[in-house]
Structure 1
Amino acid sequence: MTLAAAVRSDFILAGGPQAAQWLARRQDFRLHGDHGGRLHLAVRGMPQQGATASGGRWLALADLIEGRLEDAAGDADGFPQKRWRGRFAYADWRDDSDAIRVFTDHFGSLPLYWYQRDGHYAVASDLRLLLDAPGVRREPDPTAVYHYLNFTCIPAPLTICRDIQRVEPGTRLTLGAAGNRCERYYLPEYPADLHGSDAQLAGELRERIIATVQDFRPHADEGWGCFLSGGTDSSSIVSILARQGGAQVQSCSIGFPEAGYDELDFARLAGEACGARPHLAQVDHHRALGLLDSVIEAYDQPFGNASAVPTLACAELGHSHRFSLMLGGDGGDEIFGGNQRYAKDKVMETFYGLPSPLKAAARALGNAVGGGNNHLLNRVRNFTRRASLPNPDRFYTDDSFASDYYDELLTPELRRQVGRDASLEFMRGLYATGSAAEPLHRIMRLDLLMAIAQNDLVKVHRACKQHGVSARFPYLDPALVEYCGRLAANYKVRGLNKRFLFKQAMADILPQEILRKRKQGFGLPIAIWMKDDAALQARVRDVLLDERTRQRGWVNPEFIEQLVELHMAGGWDHSNAIWQLLVLELWMRSHMDAPR
């Protein structure tokens, strides 16, 4: 068994009077242990397992770069994961106790779910494994639904099921008949205490990046590859590994026939510059419609980020070339300062710091000139409105679809259960987590805790697992994240130049065309497809406008119909919202409405 195989496995660890009978009925799992009649274990695949001389037992899904899983069971402070590098979802227990202790890795890249009700409790690596557990009711959580409609995902600790929770990233959970206790052991921090010249710090950062990426290289020369979008993060990982020597590095890239969305030329350029072997493929609207069903099957909760489609296609491409593991550049934007909205927020932060009378005058001017069909004047109005808000409220306006259309979108029933500011309050709570930091660093930490841990890693993990592939994320190595936190904010965004120090560090590693390219991201042209593809249009209307969706009672059918028709007519781009609603309804029908 390899560690990559363990990462792709599943397990259920349960306690309570009916735990053994429930687990024994599962045909897809093997009942693996009856530990003193207190805890029962069922596994699918081959997770790592072990025992200690002191009588402790442990079970893990893991791909550790450094550290030993068996060290956790007897650790004095209970936090050996502080010294672990890599991905892990870990549980340990003693036969003379009914308590389970579980850890997630620093960014929760391997999810764990749990419930506790009527004397029963369990932990599982897939939410769907708990939907038929004793005492679990298949009742959606209205707040989770609202978060999904704003964030495109459901952030921990909530899940789509009211009775089930997800262990938060970087957290230890102790669960037993007597109750539960959660403790966060990891948060990104930003002391910004490193000093030196640009050249000196760029050289140090270069060495750190190279060493980290090389540490994450699989030991075997075959059976692995890299995600390669053509952006700076994935391109730098491929280039560093290719320069390290050994077998030729292979990469997988996905593009689209539509102009403005395809980055295969940059992926090809990055691969050729360092001697990597690229594997390229395109996703058109016909294949995307089929991949929509894969999204519903692959993700254990509703997941409305449309870039799941190319990510699934990329993992499938890797599997077709016999990859069991792929390395991705996730986290690079968030530790090096590469997101476009960081530069935008810097401008808005300057506006926010103006005297109140001056801001009020600018808002009045923006309101006076905006509101018509002039795109530039509307941008002026939107800028003054957003820039007048403090963070994280300002940052939240990028993820506020359901908040923006609260009265029109949501039914009175759902509005009675969830307030307009529920998602904003969640983001405010995350924003307040951790010690004081510069304004840029506070939103970078928010992105690591939200966009990375709750969205991007969920996307990549589930896409890879669907195709029997594991994933590694070198730029989320805790030591590298910690080092970048010691660099002041102006080394990330200087003026409006993003990735300031990173680009200097990578100057002799990446082609200038890659370093200078405009950031595009890993989206897909659903706005075009929904207007031009009759089959996708029919799927949207058949699902979102039918009686079953109306009876769900969450969204107003008249508003959804108007949203769909406006987009199809080309009046406004509502494709992301329509995609989110489509995925939510299809996922509910497939996994939540009826017992499996």
Structure 2
Amino acid sequence: MSGLCGYWNMPMPVDAIAGPGGHPLLKLRDGPSALAVAAPGDSVSLHQAPGLLAAVWGRATLDGSREQVAARLAAAWRARGAQACAELHGHFALCVIDNASGQVLLAVDRSGVHAMHYRRGAQGLQFASSADALPSGELDPQALYNYLHFHVIPAPRSIYRHQHRLLPGEYVLVRRGRMERGVYWRMRFREEAASPFKVMRRQFLGILNDAVRDAADGETGAFLSGGTDSSTLAGMLGKVSGVAPRTYSIGFEVAGYDEMAYARIAARHFQTRHHEYYLTAGDVAEAIPRITAACDQPFGNSSLVPAYFCAQMARADGVTRLIGGDGGDELFGGNERYARQAVFARYEQLPSSLRQLALEPLLFGLTGKLDLRLLRKARSYVEQALVPMPARLETYNLLHRYGPGQVLEADFLAAVDEGNPLAQLNACYWESHGLSQINRMQALDLRYTLADNDLRKVTTACDLAGVEAAFPFLSDDMLAFSARLLPRDKLNGTRLRYFFKHALRHHLPAEILRKKKHGFGMPFGQWLLKDGHLRALAYDSLADLKTRRIVRAGFIDQLTGKLVQEHPAYHGTMVWVLMMLEQWLQHHATPRASVVPADAAETVADPAPRA
């Protein structure tokens, strides 16, 4: 794994800095501080002056230029301090070590494409763009609990105690012995009247064209799932490059999962040089150890595997950069749950007297014992509508549906706050008062679905395969454009991507405009029942997990012995999440006694997201 790491005021030789993934390091030293960059090249800018070290990792610009970005950042830092972060654009992680003033600045980009982990101890500050480059220490039980809830570990926590991660658009400043966390950027939605459609469409297509052109650097290809986002980018890549773009798709020979037909429609429409691979259960079993070893934290999104095989296919084809459509759903209203929650919101808009004095007494009182299909559906609708947002989004959460007490050991539960995940979601959802529901959900997704999940998935897959990931939909100009779209342009009634689809109706094939979202979802549950090798790996992992005293042995037996057979897709997800946790623990040499006692648990604030 390539990346940035360093220390400040740490009494150790510069050679002691660990390089992410074991890559050779380029090192800078200035008194008690050091910076190290793994696999340096076009993705890093370094600057050293007396008493000052600066580095920018990624593809950042300052004043519209990529030339000498770190030197210009250093100048901006001297003039404006931490607010210099706002002058950088693009996707980056940065650090400034100012020994002359005794300050250190760390920051990441507005979307959180790049990561920054840090820990501070008695000896000073250590930081890195990968958790692997920092000392590991004890596991954080709250982070483990949050992993089982979200299937990832959301920032600002890390899997390790005393180690934290920056949120998108956030910085950390250490000065005068104090550490301050601050925000240099956040999404600010504008819900007033927008420009006419023709004006907005012209602006959107111009921003998209520029973002894809900027991403098309060197030998560039594109993920192609056949959805609106990946298809849009594949076509735009051909337009800006002037040659047939190279596209890469993963298929599954399992009914209900294979989307290759849509990828082929897009490939034919845009005349791409298309490459396909049909993933098998054997491929997955063989890749799991390699993938979990590459993850710097437990990661439970199974689509990491097809993304990795897609990136491998591109690398074998000579591609060095691979563009993905991540961010399109979040910025333009493409997730199915947006429409589903809009339907529930209609109930909230009814007069409270009608709801509380008529409908609810009728449904749950007078007719509550009638088992008629229409009444059952009406009661289910009202029951879900009565759950406030954002808790309503967690209705089908696996840990919530099973019950934490049924899944987890009592001693482990005593060391965590079960309400922490929902408290995080609430803080994010209600951070901006007065926003429409669709924009509140977008703010949630920019952090929890995108920064903590999908971007980690794609960047990890690409890094492991040896290619660079790029995300044109997450250009700073596109973020700003999305913020000024009216809510009804993202979700019109229950019609998803209203503006996006109208703006691209002459660009995309009609079949893809009508297609429902799918992506690279993997049929793990179905394979689990049919493939002995994959099943053995999964169930052996869960047997080992029993000994760690995190998950109840009885729940694991029920999961593998009964639940998976009853509903492979739903319960197979929990098998995957638990298997990937155990595999990660094994590959990162974590001792069997992995749970911190309750009286030793660390209190870490999970602040409102800054997306």
* Equivalent pair of 2:30/2:53 in contact (CA under 8 Å): no
User: Which amino acid letter does the alignment assign opposite residue 162 of structure 2?
Assistant: D
Aligned match of 1:321: 317
Q: CA deviation at 1:328?
A: 0.7
Tell me the residue number matched to 2:16: 23
Contact residue 19 and residue 120 of structure 1 kept, 8 A: no
Q: What is the identity, as a one-letter code, of the residue corresponding to 1:563?
A: L
How has the CA–CA distance of structure 1 residues 379 and 575 changed in structure 2, closer, same or farther, with 3 Å as cutoff?
A: farther
2:2 match: 9
Alignment partner, residue 110 of structure 1? 114
Q: Aligned equivalents of 1:120 and 1:504: distance in 2?
A: 54
Query: Is residue 131 of structure 1 aligned with residue 130 of structure 2?
Result: no
Q: Does 1:158 align with 2:154?
A: no
Q: Residue 585 of structure 1: which of 562, 571, 582 is its match?
A: 582
Equivalent pair of 1:248/1:276 in contact (CA under 8 Å): yes
Equivalents in 2 of 1:15, 1:393: separation in Å?
A: 41
In the TM superposition, what is the alpha-carbon distance from 1:40 to its structure 2 partner?
2.2
Deviation at 1:53, TM superposition (A): 6.3
Contact persistence 2:18–2:133 (CA under 8 A): no
Give the residue type in structure 2 aligned to 1:192: E
Contact 2:108 2:166 in 1 (8 A): yes
8 Å CA contact 1:23, 1:42 repeated in 2: no
Q: Bigger shift: 328-337 or 97-106?
A: 97-106
CA displacement at 1:382 relative to structure 2? 4.7
CA contact (8 A) 1:12 1:124 kept: yes
Cα 1:237–1:31 change in 2 (3 A) is closer
Helix, strand or coil for the counterpart of 1:463? Answer: helix
Residue number among 95, 107, 119 corresponding to 2:123 in the alignment? 119
Render the CA deviation track for 1:515-537: whole Å, top value 9, x for unaligned: 01122132100121112112222
Task: Name 1:364's counterpart in structure 2.
Answer: 364
TM-score of the pair, normalised by structure 1:
0.90
Distance 2:133 2:272 in 1: 40
SS at match of 1:72: helix
Measured in 1, the distance between the counterparts of 2:204 and 2:10 equals 54
The 1:557/1:35 distance shift into structure 2, 3 A limit, reads: same
Q: Give the stretch that moved more between structures: 121-130 or 289-298.
A: 289-298
The range that moved more, 267-276 or 568-577, is 568-577
Query: What is the match of residue 190 of structure 1?
Result: 189
Alignment partners' CA distance in 1, 2:366 and 2:288: 40
Mapped pair 1:388 → 2:386: yes
The aligned residue for residue 135 of structure 1 is: none
Q: Which amino acid counterpart does residue 350 of structure 1 have in structure 2?
A: R
Correspondent of 1:340 among 330, 336, 339: 336
559 and 72 in structure 1: CA distance in 2 versus 1, 3 angstrom threshold: same
Q: How has the CA–CA distance of structure 1 residues 553 and 92 changed in structure 2, closer, same or farther, with 3 Å as cutoff?
A: same
Q: Does 1:574 align with 2:571?
A: yes
1:100-138 deviations in Å (ceiling 9; x for gaps): 211101111111111111223200121111125xxxxx2
Change (3 A) 1:362 1:314: farther
The whole-number CA distance in structure 2 between the counterparts of 1:168 and 1:511 is 37
- Which 10-residue stretch deviates more, 584-593 or 379-388? 379-388
Residue 46 of structure 1 pairs with residue 40 of structure 2: yes
Contact conserved, 2:93 with 2:107, CA < 8 A, in 1? yes
What corresponds to 1:410 in structure 2? 408
Q: How many residues align?
A: 575
Please name the residue that 2:75 is paired with: 74
The 5 Å alignment of 1:433-452 reads 433-434=431-432, 436-452=434-450
Deviation at 1:390?
1.8
TM-score by length of 2: 0.88
Residue 229 of structure 1 corresponds to 225
Other-structure match for 1:3: none
Relative to 1, partners in 2 of residues 1:403 and 1:126: Cα closer, same or farther, differing over 3 Å? farther
How far off its partner does 1:395 sit? 2.0
What amino acid maps onto 1:521 in structure 2? G
Indicate if the aligned counterparts of 1:238 and 1:251 stay in contact, CA closer than 8 A. Answer: yes
Moved more, 12-21 or 514-523: 12-21
Q: Which moved more, 1:183-192 or 1:496-505?
A: 183-192
Give distance in 2, aligned partners of 1:331 and 1:366: 47
CA-CA distance at 1:212 after TM superposition: 3.2
The gaps in structure 1 that reach 5 residues or longer are: 1-7, 133-137
C-alpha change, 1:471 and 1:367, in structure 2 (3 Å) is farther
Shift of 1:297: 1.8
Does structure 2 retain, via aligned residues, the 8 Å contact 1:9–1:61? no
Give the deviation of 1:508 after TM superposition.
0.7
Letter in 2 for 1:44: A
AA paired with 1:23? A
Deviation at 1:283, TM superposition (A): 0.5
**Does the 8 A contact of 2:14 with 2:34 survive in 1?**
no
| Displacement of 1:420 | 2.5
Q: What letter matches 2:578 in structure 1?
A: L
Instruction: Report the Cα offset of residue 164 of structure 1.
Output: 0.9
Task: In structure 1, give the amino acid aligned to 2:235.
Answer: S
1:271–1:447 CA distance, 2 compared to 1 (3 A): same
| Conserved 8 A contact 2:289-2:587 | no
- Alignment-mate amino acid for residue 206 of structure 1: L
Task: Please state how far the C-alpha of 1:571 moved relative to its aligned partner.
Answer: 4.7
Residue identity over aligned pairs, in percent, reads 29
Deviation at 1:445, TM superposition (A): 1.3
Secondary structure, aligned partner of 1:225: strand
Please tell me the residue identity of whatever aligns with 1:360: E
Which string of whole-angstrom CA distances, capped at 9 and with x for unpartnered residues, describes residues 352-399 of structure 1? 3332415634773799579x9x99987665543322122111123354
Determine if the alignment matches structure 1 residue 250 to structure 2 residue 246: yes
Letter in 2 for 1:524: M
